[in-house]
């Protein structure tokens, strides 16, 4: 009987060579694409205040406040006739930019809107106007006693009647003169300012020299 190990060895070697050749011709796996870095969204620039018009101060001295409230801190004052840039309209309060670039809030009843669209006026509606005196204060003068300036802030309602007063300053340092100035402005009567066909309450600053 002839040995068969040689024949079997050659057959095994042929199979191994065939497998090696197939393995060599197989395409190499393509490398997976590396993840691209995600760019962060561009940061939005700080929005600038938009100008929506201008307003003109309608009282002797107008308080500029840090917020839209009479309890907010007073951060500045502007005088009658000054024009301010209007930034935002919150109804009773307006956000404005002052000439020095600072911003604050003022009462919409104490300024006149300019450079902005107005509502159509109803038939028979009176035009917008500033306040005026119906009965002006009647100061009494005396050469005797201390001299100086008394400043009173008077709240006037939509009927033109002074409802309350507040002493702002008294250079005379005489309480009797301050009382006299308050009494004078309380006896005054106003035609209140008209805004959008309606009379508006306002604040009047009374400066009384003695």
Q: Which residue would you say has higher pLDDT here, 138 or 125?
A: 138
Strand 53-57 to 111-114 pairing = antiparallel
- Percent of the chain exceeding pLDDT 90 equals 36
Average pLDDT over residues 133-146: 84
Overall average pLDDT of the 103-131 stretch: 75
Of the listed ranges 22-36, 116-130, 176-190, the least confidently predicted one is 22-36
Confidence of residue 201 (pLDDT cuts 50, 70, 90): very high
How large is the C-alpha radius of gyration of the chain? 42
pLDDT band at 16 (very low <50, low <70, confident <90, very high): low
The confidence band for 42, taking pLDDT boundaries of 50, 70 and 90, is very low
Does the structure show a pLDDT above 80 at 49?
no
pLDDT of residue 43: 40
Q: Which of 207, 83, 209 is nearest to 141 (CA)?
A: 209
**In which element (H, E) is residue 164 found?**
strand 162-170
Pure H helices in the chain: 5-25, 175-186
Task: List, edge to edge, every strand of the sheet that includes 111-114.
Answer: 74-79, 61-65, 103-107, 93-97, 83-89, 53-57, 111-114
> Of 117, 82, 193, 196, nearest to 96 (Cα)?
82
Q: What percent of the chain has pLDDT over 70?
A: 72
**What phi-psi label fits residue 173: left (phi over 0), alpha (psi between -120 and 50 degrees) or beta?**
left
Tell me, what's the pLDDT at 115? 55
The pLDDT value recorded for residue 109 is 82
Structure-token match 């201008």, residue found: 54
Give the pLDDT band of residue 172 (cuts 50, 70, 90).
very high
Please give the residue that has the higher pLDDT: either 19 or 51: 51
List of domains in the chain: 53-114 (2.30.30.40), 132-209 (3.30.2420)
């Amino acid at each position: 009987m002839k040995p068969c190990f040689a024949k079997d060895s050659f057959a095994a070697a042929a199979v191994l060579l065939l497998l090696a050749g197939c393995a060599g011709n197989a395409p190499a796996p393509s490398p997976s694409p590396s993840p691209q870095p995600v760019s962060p969204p561009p940061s939005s620039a700080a929005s600038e205040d938009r100008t929506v018009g201008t307003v003109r101060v309608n009282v002797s001295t107008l308080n500029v406040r840090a917020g839209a409230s009479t309890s907010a801190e007073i951060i500045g004052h502007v005088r009658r006739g000054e024009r301010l840039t209007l930034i935002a309209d919150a109804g009773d309060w307006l956000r404005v930019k002052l000439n020095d670039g600072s911003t604050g809030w003022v009462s919409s009843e104490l300024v006149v809107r300019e450079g902005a669209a107005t509502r159509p006026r109803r038939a028979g509606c009176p035009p917008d106007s500033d306040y005026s005196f119906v009965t002006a204060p009647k100061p009494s003068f005396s050469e005797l006693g201390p001299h100086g300036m008394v400043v009173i802030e008077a709240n006037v309602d939509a009927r033109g009647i002074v409802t309350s007063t507040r002493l702002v300053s008294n250079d005379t340092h005489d309480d009797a003169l301050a009382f006299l100035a308050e009494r004078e402005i309380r006896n005054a009567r106003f035609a209140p300012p008209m805004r959008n066909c309606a009379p508006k309450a306002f604040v009047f600053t009374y400066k009384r020299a003695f």
